[in-house]
Structure 1
Amino acid sequence: MNEKDNLEKNSNKSKGKRNDEKYIKEMHDMADKHAKRNNKVFIAVVIPVVVICIFVIQQIFSFSLNSTKKDSKPTTEFASETKTNDKNKTEDKKNSTDKEKSSKSALDEKIGKYLDKQENRQKSLDAAISINKGSNKGISVIYISEILRNNGIEIPKSTLSTKSLVKELEKQGFEKITDYKELQKGDIAFTTKDKSGNPSHAYIFLKWSKEGKTDYGTVCDGQINDYDSTIHKRNISVSTTTKDKISFFMRKK
Structure 2
Amino acid sequence: MKLLGHDFTPHQPYLEYNTEYYSYKPGIQDELYGLVWEIYQVDNFDFQKSIAFPDVCGDIMVFYSSDKAHCYFMGGTMGLRVMTDLEFFKDIHTIFGVKFCSGALGNLFKGARDTGEDVIVGNNALINGSDTLEKLLEAKTFTERWELVKQYLIKRLNSDYEVDHLVNYVANYIIVNRGKIIIKNLESQTGYSNRYLRKKINEGLGVSIKTFCGIVQFQWSYHLYHQLGGKLSLSDLALQSGYYDQSHMNIIYKKLTGLLPKIAINLYK
Both proteins in one fold, TM over 0.5: no
TM-score (norm 1): 0.23
Larger radius of gyration: 1
TM-score by length of 2: 0.22
More helix by share: 1
